[in-house]
Structure 1
């Protein structure tokens, strides 16, 4: 019987590893696909995988409903740009016709305006985040690859800090991935005594390189938790220390914890003396944030700050995992720096049971893939690169806010063509989405590659390319996009739906059409083999598919900095100018910022804008993860929607009683930038004075044609309308998605519809 495909009664069974779409960043649940009559029938977790052990996210248990949904668009479609917003005008075409349109528009724009007038957009980061940059740089030959999340407020600040402060790959919790056979029981594995969980709810999100259940496994074996979060999550309720802070004040908390550790001589002298640059200057900065000072800023009790800091410093090894909340504030770069320094000064970096770090020898494709092929004159035209070198040095993208301004104003030059893959901008990542929707009407030609008609595609799309989902494609999944490769696994195609193609297939097709010399692979499997070998893994993609488990865990080396494995020149140290972890970051000085990490009050808060706060007297934080959804995906799946049917705003019972509101009321959330409507959830898990609003909401059953509530009702539900465009940190990173202010008012009622199954907006009618 095959290792990856076999017959089991009436079902053909295919073993694969999941990867977006549908969402969840690159973790890769190992699953078995049960296929009947050419369609995916049901999904089970693969118990033979030693990392997932049969566990699987509910999002992938509902993969049959997702893949077989009547809302899927399974053939290419086009619409004349003059009919944007009129969704009765879509018509089915062939792939050749679609590629002809793209090739024609690409050549026209390149000739009339220059290749820089083509801009691409990426969202959820499917297929290891390399497809869209390669299309941008090598096929379109443009420098303008764009992640349209204002202030690059997801992963960008954390990843950049790894470059500037650590000179190492992405940090992650040590949960025994290097010991796949015995895992936690391997005698060579060291269990973390404490895990610091920062701005993240991994049981729900399972992000990037961490299966959330791993924390529970470690807790059962004795690992204690320190949780930093404005919400009392399930993990927080079981933590040794729960630091429930005011949203946006994290940097003050970490400065204070570092102050306690240094002031009480609890830091790792050997590591600090040998491997931290600017430690003494950093210690002076920390002395400005005694626990009483931090308590007044954060709302966390001063004694609790002291106790948590002492526990972190004296219970080694300690590991850490951090999340999006670190990034989504104007002070995100500084916050991320301080989290790393909290790990560094206690000697917890890259030690057994400590914080894992990626090495510097990765050769697999990255988001810079193809950049070096561009002419330097074209590279110099990347939007925002000169103004924000901190963004352009670490990231291969434009500065997102400036890129959107360029579309709106034609400055520094017009953007005439866009290509959007795996992003739904006006429903999820962008601030001021109504402005963005208007801006995106300006390009001559807008292409979308996705699975269903989204509000963004409905509002301004001209060409729609149908994308294969998980279970419908061959590919690779690697944790942290390869920046910390805990494992690499094979995604195996089990079924074909319509004419859908994977992101990698679309990338290769466009490359062969537009610039074939930069796409030398004869087929997808040859490309996947090349990519696999770039991770240092021998053999072919088919070898990986046919292996016993379908995945590989590369050997992990601890303390790489001591053995020359963390630098490009092979010398001991970290890949920074000083060769050390930089508490005093020399690059920041060059770019006009403070070399030392600091706290900065959010731009709209009880402290920075007290007059506005009188009118909008709640601190607003957004984006808590849902078991059902990944950002704006999956609202059309019945059982997932039944679990989480409406956008909700969480409020503390004391606040609800004071305002005369009750659980289940519909409310308007308003501030000086915008308004949306959500259902109130009264719960003690949020701090008094804080509102936690869900993000990414739209209503597939509402209908695509733009009305007062926007396509699919997106303007009614989208919390990002309360977040300003062009509000980010000094280095170009971080927008306050998680630390705004708002008011709450009772609405007369909720939406004038109920979730409808099956859906009324069946896009298959456009494909007949």
Structure 2
């Protein structure tokens, strides 16, 4: 019996480590996949996986329904661009025909307009987020790799701030991944006394490089929590300190906490003296934000701010994990800067039990992969790079608002072809999705690579490439896209579904077609081995798959800054301009912003726009994770949909009573930018005056050709219609997805298919889904 495939009764069992699709972030659930007659029958957690230890997300328990769904598109399809929006016009083609179309259009556009007129789109990463940039830079030879989330409001601001302020890879909670055999019981492991949870609900999301259950394990062993969140999550109700703030005001809170730590002499003098650049100036900035002021801004009681700050500074070591909520505000860069400084001035960076940091020696593919192959004159045409060097210096992408403006206006040059992989812009993540939908009809040729028909592809797609799911592909998973590699594991293929291909296979196929000298690997497995070796793991991909666990944990070094492991030249220090953690960041000043973090009131709030408060009295925050879904995925899986059937907006019961609403009512959420319809859920976990609306909603059962609210009714429920395009922070990052103003009015009813749901609309298949 092999370590990765064996027989159990009637079932063939394949051991794998999951990586999307379907969604969750790159954390790698250990799975055992049970096949019967070459069809995935059921899934169990892999008890031999040292990190997940047999636990598994409900999303992956429903993997058979996902992989075997009749909604899957399992072969390439094309549609004439003149028939966009008419989903009866799709027709099946071969992969060679699909690649012929891409090659023909690529060559034509490169010749007539230049390669910069080809733009790629990506969502929350597939196969470690390297496939699309490599396709962009090396196959299409374009500089325009685009993540269509306004203000790059997911992960990008936090990752970039680490580059500029720490010169280090992504920070994360220390949950004993460096000791895979004994984990928390290893005598060398130091349990954090305190864990700071910022804008994150990891039990539901299991994001990036953190399994939510790890926090529960640590709490059982004595770790106390400080939770910062507008909602009273499960973790918040069990925290030592729960700081329930007004959405968008985080920076004021952290300035006040740092004020307490510094003014009460609770900071780590040795670390600050040796490793924090601009500490004196930062102390002066924090002095401007006493807890009383922060309390009046955030709504968090003054004594809680003081007590939480003291606890964080004295109960050491302390670890930290932060989420998307840090990014989704125009003040996001400054908020992230402050979070890192709270960790630095207390001496909690890169110490046992503290905040883990990635190093600077990683050689595996990144989102910059292929960039250096471009000519300088092509690099200079990257959209938004010159205007926003804060974005373009750390990220290989465009500034996404400016990129969409180029599609809308043909300025500074037209975009004639798009390639979209794992993104569904008009459902998630773009602001003003109706505008995006209109703009995306302008290019001559739009290619999508996905698993099911999405609203975006249904509206403006011309070519559909079918993508393989977990269990249908060989590949690798590494936490934090390799920016902090806590482990590397093999994703193992159990069966072939239709003609679906993995993202890596599509990347290689296109590369061999369009620019073979830049894709030197003879096959997928030679590429996977090269990639694996880039993480410092010896041997072949097959060796990893065949190993006892199919899993490896690279060695972790603490206090890398003291031993020259955090800099490119091998000298002690951090990989920043000053060689220190930068409280004062000269780069920010050079780019036209304050070199030190500051608080900025959200552009639309009860404070900044009091004239709008009567009409739009609520503060709206969006995007809380669901047990059932990953962003806009999985709405077609019936059991997951039964758990979370409708787009809901959470409201405090007192607000419902005041408005004459009842739990379960359908309401319109509206502001000066747009409106949508969602269903009320009465809950005390949100404060009066705050709304928490679900994001990324569309209705697969509604059909792709609905004329009232766009394909699959996407414009009925999509909360992003209330968020404006083109509103972002001074340095190009951060849009107010989590801190807008909003009004609520009762709707006459819900979507017209609500009564008697779930209806059997899934059985009414478009012609292109007939097997």
* TM-score interval (norm. to shorter): over 0.9
**SS, match of residue 548 in structure 1:** coil
CA deviations 1:395-419 (Å, max 9, x no partner) are 0000000000000000000000000
Q: What's 1:114 paired with?
A: 114
Quick one: distance in 1 between partners of 2:9 and 2:645? 36
**SS, match of residue 669 in structure 1:** strand
Q: What's 1:623 paired with?
A: 623
TM-fit CA distance, 1:766: 4.5
**Is structure 2 residue 643 aligned with structure 1 residue 671?**
no
TM-fit CA distance, 1:757: 4.0
User: How does 1:315-354 map onto structure 2 within 5 Å?
Assistant: 315-354=315-354
Quick one: distance in 2 between partners of 1:475 and 1:426? 29
Q: What's 1:300 paired with?
A: 300
> How many residues matched?
768
Q: What's 2:751 paired with?
A: 751
For the 8 Å contact 1:73–1:764, the answer to whether it is kept is no
CA deviations 1:713-751 (Å, max 9, x no partner) are 000000000000000000000000000000011111111
TM-fit CA distance, 1:377: 0.3
User: Structure 2 vs 1, CA of residues 763 and 39 (structure 1 numbering), >3 Å: closer, same or farther?
Assistant: farther
For the 8 Å contact 1:91–1:767, the answer to whether it is kept is no
For the 8 Å contact 1:129–1:366, the answer to whether it is kept is yes
For the 8 Å contact 2:88–2:767, the answer to whether it is kept is no
For the 8 Å contact 1:70–1:763, the answer to whether it is kept is no
Q: What's 1:126 paired with?
A: 126
CA deviations 1:212-268 (Å, max 9, x no partner) are 000000000000000000000000000000000000000000000000000000000
For the 8 Å contact 1:638–1:757, the answer to whether it is kept is no
**SS, match of residue 490 in structure 1:** strand
**Is structure 2 residue 723 aligned with structure 1 residue 720?**
no
Quick one: distance in 2 between partners of 1:747 and 1:41? 42
**Is structure 2 residue 235 aligned with structure 1 residue 232?**
no
Quick one: distance in 1 between partners of 2:606 and 2:661? 23
Quick one: distance in 2 between partners of 1:76 and 1:705? 20
Q: What's 1:470 paired with?
A: 470
Give the unaligned 5+ runs of structure 1.
none
Q: TM-score scaled to structure 1, two decimals?
A: 1.00
For the 8 Å contact 1:261–1:310, the answer to whether it is kept is yes
**Is structure 2 residue 659 aligned with structure 1 residue 659?**
yes
Q: What's 1:161 paired with?
A: 161
Quick one: distance in 1 between partners of 2:25 and 2:447? 23
For the 8 Å contact 1:92–1:766, the answer to whether it is kept is no
For the 8 Å contact 2:70–2:769, the answer to whether it is kept is no
TM-fit CA distance, 1:586: 0.7
**SS, match of residue 339 in structure 2:** helix
For the 8 Å contact 2:91–2:768, the answer to whether it is kept is no
**SS, match of residue 448 in structure 2:** strand
CA deviations 1:556-586 (Å, max 9, x no partner) are 0000000000000000000000000000001
Quick one: distance in 2 between partners of 1:712 and 1:543? 45
**Is structure 2 residue 482 aligned with structure 1 residue 479?**
no
User: How does 1:641-660 map onto structure 2 within 5 Å?
Assistant: 641-660=641-660
Quick one: distance in 1 between partners of 2:688 and 2:664? 18
Quick one: distance in 2 between partners of 1:29 and 1:764? 36
- CA RMSD between the two structures: 0.7
CA deviations 1:182-238 (Å, max 9, x no partner) are 100000000000000000000000000000000000000000000000000000000
For the 8 Å contact 1:151–1:399, the answer to whether it is kept is yes
For the 8 Å contact 2:291–2:305, the answer to whether it is kept is yes
Q: What's 2:285 paired with?
A: 285
CA deviations 1:611-654 (Å, max 9, x no partner) are 01221000000000000000000000010000000000000011
Quick one: distance in 2 between partners of 1:499 and 1:86? 24
Q: What's 1:209 paired with?
A: 209
Quick one: distance in 2 between partners of 1:243 and 1:368? 38
Quick one: distance in 2 between partners of 1:761 and 1:188? 59
Q: What's 2:409 paired with?
A: 409
**Is structure 2 residue 193 aligned with structure 1 residue 190?**
no
Quick one: distance in 1 between partners of 2:220 and 2:457? 46
2:763 to 735, 760, 763: 760
TM-fit CA distance, 1:765: 3.8
For the 8 Å contact 2:697–2:717, the answer to whether it is kept is yes
For the 8 Å contact 1:473–1:502, the answer to whether it is kept is yes
For the 8 Å contact 1:85–1:706, the answer to whether it is kept is no
TM-fit CA distance, 1:708: 1.8
For the 8 Å contact 2:431–2:723, the answer to whether it is kept is yes
For the 8 Å contact 2:702–2:761, the answer to whether it is kept is no
TM-fit CA distance, 1:767: 5.6
Quick one: distance in 2 between partners of 1:31 and 1:397? 33
**Is structure 2 residue 529 aligned with structure 1 residue 526?**
no
**SS, match of residue 614 in structure 2:** helix
Quick one: distance in 2 between partners of 1:575 and 1:521? 32
TM-fit CA distance, 1:755: 3.1
**SS, match of residue 756 in structure 1:** coil
Quick one: distance in 1 between partners of 2:312 and 2:415? 50
TM-fit CA distance, 1:50: 1.3
Q: What's 1:420 paired with?
A: 420
Which range moves more in the overlay, 699-708 or 18-27?
A: 699-708
Q: What's 1:564 paired with?
A: 564
TM-fit CA distance, 1:706: 4.3
Quick one: distance in 2 between partners of 1:401 and 1:641? 32
TM-fit CA distance, 1:536: 0.5
Q: What's 2:56 paired with?
A: 56
**SS, match of residue 54 in structure 2:** coil
CA deviations 1:374-431 (Å, max 9, x no partner) are 0000000000000000000000000000000000000000000000000000001000
TM-fit CA distance, 1:762: 2.8
Q: What's 1:222 paired with?
A: 222
Q: What's 2:13 paired with?
A: 13
Give the unaligned 5+ runs of structure 2.
none
Quick one: distance in 1 between partners of 2:619 and 2:359? 39
TM-fit CA distance, 1:758: 6.3
Q: TM-score scaled to structure 2, two decimals?
A: 0.99
Q: What's 1:502 paired with?
A: 502
**SS, match of residue 449 in structure 1:** strand
For the 8 Å contact 2:90–2:768, the answer to whether it is kept is no
